[in-house]
């Protein structure tokens, strides 16, 4: 499982010209389920992302987590994170889990976040053509992999 997380002042996802989900200050999470992933990885990823200390304290140090600031999370499925670009010019996406495996895991990740997050949790729609907007804060971007 791979997650690219971006610290944002706000973010939204639009599907078919309608805003499907939006958040204020918090994290945009682009989530990819890979072939070797299973449900046992979800609790680790949720805990790591919710508690990663990447928000600034009163001294300008990154010592606060999403939970500490009661921040929001927008979760977007992104199979292209599994793209292998080492060979040739066309990415190879065979490392991404098939939709019948990835979709339930994506949905389980969302439900786990909703149960634990202090702020608001929003999400995109698995497999949809999504337009994601964000105001990156910092910018701060991290990769979390398990």
| Residues designated catalytic | 78-80
Give phi and psi for 140, each to the nearest 5: -125, 120
Q: State the DSSP H helix or E strand holding residue 108, giving kind and residue range, or none if neither.
A: helix 99-116
First vs last C-alpha separation in the chain: 5
Report d(CA 123, CA 106) in Å as an integer: 10
Taken as a whole, the chain contains a residue count of 146
Per DSSP, what are the bridge partners of residue 22?
12
User: Is residue 69 packed enough to be buried (19+ CB in 10 Å), middle (13-18) or exposed (0-12)?
Assistant: middle
Q: Among all chains, which residue has been given the structure tokens 């040739």?
A: 88
């Amino acid at each position: 499982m791979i997650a690219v997380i971006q610290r944002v002042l706000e973010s939204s996802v639009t599907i078919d010209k309608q805003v499907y989900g939006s958040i204020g200050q918090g994290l945009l999470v682009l989530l990819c389920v890979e072939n070797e992933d299973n449900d046992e990885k979800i609790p680790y990823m949720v805990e790591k992302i919710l508690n990663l200390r990447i928000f600034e304290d009163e001294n300008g140090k990154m010592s606060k987590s999403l939970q500490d600031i009661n921040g929001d999370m927008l979760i977007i499925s992104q199979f292209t994170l599994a793209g292998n670009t080492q060979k040739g010019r066309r990415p190879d996406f065979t490392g991404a889990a098939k939709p019948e495996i990835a979709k339930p895991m994506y949905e389980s990740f969302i439900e786990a976040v909703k149960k634990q997050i202090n702020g608001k949790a929003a999400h995109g729609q698995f497999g949809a053509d999504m337009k994601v907007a964000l105001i990156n804060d910092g910018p701060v971007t991290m990769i979390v992999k398990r």
